[in-house]
Chain A
Amino acid sequence: MQEKDIANTAGGGCSQGSCGSNAEQMSHLPDAVREKVFNHPCYSEEAHHHYARMHVAVAPACNIQCHYCNRKYDCANESRPGVVSELLTPEQAEKKVLAVAANIPQMTVLGVAGPGDPLANPERTLATFRGLAEKAPDIKLCLSTNGLALPDHVDEIAALNVDHVTITINCVDPEVGAKIYPWIFWNNRRVRGVKAAQILIERQQKGLEMLVERGVLVKVNSVMIPGVNDEHLKEVSRIVKAKGAFLHNVMPLIAEPEHGTFYGVMGQRSPSQAELQALQDECAGDMNMMRHCRQCRADAVGLLGEDRGDEFTLDKIDQMEIDYAAAMAKRKAVHQAIEADRDAQRAAKARAAAGETLVPITALKRSAPKPAVAEQTRPVLMAVATAGQGVVNQHFGHAKEFLVYEASPAGVRFIGVRKADNYCEGGDTCGDGETKWDDILKALAGCEVMLCSRIGIGPWETLEQHGIRPDNEHAMEPIEDAVAAVYREMQQRGKLDDPAHSMPVSA
């Protein structure tokens, strides 16, 4: 049933804007699924503007090696999976979660994602879940795994109400897998090559099937590695969707020589933003795609894209006295206020759509009537600086990332996240002014407009010189409304009759 409903939203590619699990797409999902994801920032693009998540680093051990991972790495300035600064015991993790939940009431989700594999450390991971299921029943529990040990733990996972599991599946073909995984540890041996990949793939697929049978919501993460599995991921997407995965998250490979990973050292390139987007669009023909992933650390805390881990180090939480009953009441009130806000935003959108003739936002829906006017104007990419709540509310200078939207006569669709403070390269390049502008311009490649709440005159001029028009006229407006309004202005001023003058999207 879930499959059928997802298929309804997904068939025929996403040029009409049905990609990403946005509000419109959510409305097609069965109630039971919608109930599970409406406030889960990692499973719902819309929810991620409002709700926060945290990971606790309780799982240090791993049972496989991936060519994009280096177990030696631990840097406080890095934001990528597998990296972590402070390993926690289950008791410490529980205390940290309660402290964060009390202080960041919009935190709804606790995940165990490493820094190794949560199910290669089943006692630590499950002890953490057990403690929290009892003490903080208002927090959703999830975990992310490579899948090798998954079939052995599916029943415990389901029994503990861990209702969101992410499996990283990079391939379904062992020949491809042998280029991604040098070895696995299986049945008391280190197994290598195609045989290792074959075992891993079988276990991943079996785990996926078992979770779906038990009603656990499954997201599949795939790392896009150009020349290795990029074409192959289309098949992966078809297969995992057919088996009942709810969402597919195709993420770009992160590989720099400084990371000391096989891919980094051997010079394997990462995909360009255009390549990633093209593959996500192709896979979207088959299933729900996720485009707002931040590939966060195994100890991240806060809204996606922010990390407040520094506020909750072990020595700091030791000083905190948490009354969780009181915190739970406060959390409930905050969640109700967020939902009231979201309802108001949705209602305003519906009203705008009813009276709108040019660019109805709700034309995201296939069934919505096509606008009669300006059918011909070209699509425009716009970048948005936001600190959450689904509105344009961030100073350009504070933006560490931009959300990119495409506006067209068909509506506004979310394209993806572009990080502007790219992965730390260590040493002298950290925080360097010129490097920062390089990162920002790379992040904004292909965008013609950058919406923010405020921006200084210097940066304004720099952006204009690079063909990107800054816009702070729509501060505090809901993002999709603001993007649609700017698009209408461009239509009315005849700006869309010419081909795009900005740089094409590229790395």
Chain B
Amino acid sequence: MALEIIETCVNCWACEPLCPSSAIYEARPHFRIDAAKCTECDGDYAEAQCAGICPIEGAILDAKGLAVNPPGSLTGIPPERMQAVMAEIRAR
């Protein structure tokens, strides 16, 4: 049972001081979670702290490899809208 930070992390440091298990550490190219230490905040908080403050959708995965904050869940931008706008920008 552990969360994982993946490459879309922007190294903003928000999660690191919040972890009750000190499982998060600075690394290159992005922060990482020590799977041996991570408890997903079970017993400490109602929600995983790193995933609760992380501003980047998809940057933190749960034990099943699914995004804790899926596309659209933090920005409020519908994923299909984001895709359409990005396609339009690329086509310029």
Contact = CB atoms under 8 A, between A and B. Distances in A.
Report if A and B associate in a common complex. yes
Contacts of A258: 89
Interface in A56-74: 60-63, 65, 67, 71-72
B5 to A, nearest CB: 14
B77 interface: yes
A257 B10 contact: no
A257 B89 contact: yes
B66 interface: no
Interface stretch (A184-192, A296-304, A339-347): A184-192
A60 B13 contact: yes
B14 interface: yes
Q: Tell me what chain B mostly uses at the interface: helix, strand, loop, or mixed.
A: loop
Nearest to A72: B10
A190 B53 contact: yes
B46 interface: yes
Contact of B55 (A71, A188, A257, A427): A71
A72 B56 contact: yes
Given A67-B76, A182-B74, A189-B47, A60 B55 contact: no
Contacts of B45: 188-189
Nearest to A191: B52
B12 A61 contact: yes
A63 B14 contact: yes
Nearest to A122: B17
Contacts of A188: 18, 45-47, 49, 52
Contact of B12 (A71, A189, A261): A71
Contact of B92 (A60, A262, A427): A427
Given A62-B55, A188-B45, A427-B92, A262 B11 contact: no
A242 to B, nearest CB: 33
Interface residues of A, number: 27
A274 interface: no
B81 interface: yes
A60 B12 contact: yes
A120 interface: yes
A71 B10 CA distance: 8
Contacts of A422: none
A178 to B, nearest CB: 11
B41 to A, nearest CB: 9
A260 B81 CA distance: 11
Interface string B53-89: 1011000000000000000001111000110010011
B77 A262 contact: yes
B14 A120 contact: yes
Given A116-B12, A262-B75, A185 B53 contact: yes
A320 interface: no
Contact of B11 (A60, A67, A260): A60
A190 B47 contact: yes
Contacts of A257: 85, 88-89
8 contacts: A61-B12, A61-B14, A65-B75, A67-B75, A71-B56, A87-B11, A188-B52, A190-B47
Given A65-B75, A182-B74, A261-B75, 20 more contacts: A60-B12, A61-B53, A62-B14, A71-B56, A116-B12, A120-B14, A121-B13, A182-B75, A182-B76, A183-B74, A185-B52, A188-B49, A189-B46, A190-B47, A190-B52, A257-B85, A257-B89, A260-B82, A262-B75, A427-B92
Interface of B: 10-14, 18, 45-47, 49, 52-53, 55-56, 74-77, 81-82, 85, 88-89, 92
